Amino acid sequence: MSAYLATFPSPDRGVWHLGPIPIRAYALCIIAGIIVAIWWGERRWAARGGTKGTVIDVAVFAVPFGLVGGRLYHVVTDPELYFTEGRNPWKAFAIWDGGLGIWGAIALGAVGALIACRRKGIPLPAMADAIAPGIVVAQAIGRIGNYFNQELYGAHTDLPWGMEVFQRFNPENPDDLLNGVATGHIPLPESPVHPTFLYELIWNLLVALLVVWADRRFKLGHGRAFALYVAGYTVGRGWIEMMRTDTANHILGLRVNVWTSILLFAGAVVYLVLAARRGPREAPETLRGKDQPGPDEVPVPADEPEHAKVTADAPAEKPAEEAPAEEPKNTEES
């Protein structure tokens, strides 16, 4: 009993059913993370001088691209989960079962954001700076979904913050334990384990604080806040990745995601140095986009006649000068 009290339990399930509709904790966490990233990005974009609603417009392109990219990265780096003997290749499309690679999501999401930014006539690096802390907080929220899925944990530990992992059962499909339920709280042989998803969650929140502080202190621009996020995140992801025990491909004895973290950290640091030469942060007027009215134009409602349009530089009509009032005549007799 004392050993159990020194740990914390994993959830009994990660899926609930509302009639025939499955409600998945992982999907809810991903959606919540996206909402937070957009909301915070909008606030930061407006604070820099950008137009409200721009981040939402960019997200319409970036989010679908990012989801596809995240899934592609996961499938490409772990193909044995879907394309080996006894596996179902159609599961590669089952994004609701978990499995999104952050670097694929960032890479392809950046393509979608670039398309949107070019359409609106705004600089992509400035947009990346605005959404950087929101993205890493969204990643932290997504790790809660890993907790409900009982995935991405580490090896056995006797530390007081270890997590108890229980056997899940799925009578309808014994091989699909992700959609199973833990009954009887039967611990797995390696339980309790390092909650590496929790380590990364905490690290991500610290990186978000670092980016916000550095951005306020040094007025980062030209993509440097985003580069700082990448550098900070990869430092933590590298050592946390080496603690995980889930199946992964290795190159020269290191997991693929460790090599990815090393390369991206180096690239982010180089970009930080080079981007600093571009000078101060982008001017606010460059963030308003080509579809926004200029400072010399006054918007006119659609139902106003054409002749009602005015410009700020048009001379205002001078009011007619009033005639000076006549002095009252002195009628008092002398």
Write out pLDDT tens, residues 4-46: 456 899 999 999 989 888 899 999 999 999 999 999 999 999 9
- Please tell me the pTM assigned to this model: 0.82
In this prediction, residues 173-193 reach a mean pLDDT of 86
Write out pLDDT tens, residues 77-115: 888 888 888 788 888 888 766 678 888 999 999 999 999
Number of other CB atoms surrounding residue 20 within 10 Å? 5
d(CA 294, CA 82): 53
Q: What is the 3-state secondary structure (H, E, C) of 152-191?
A: CCECECCCCCCEECEEEECCCCCCCHHHCEEEEEEECCCC
Give the position of tokens 């694929």. Answer: 104
Nearest 5 degrees, angle CA 258-CA 263-CA 268? 120
Q: How confident is the model at residue 282 (pLDDT cuts 50, 70, 90)?
A: very high
Q: What are the structural domain ranges in the chain?
A: 51-121, 124-161+189-288
Binding-site positions read 143
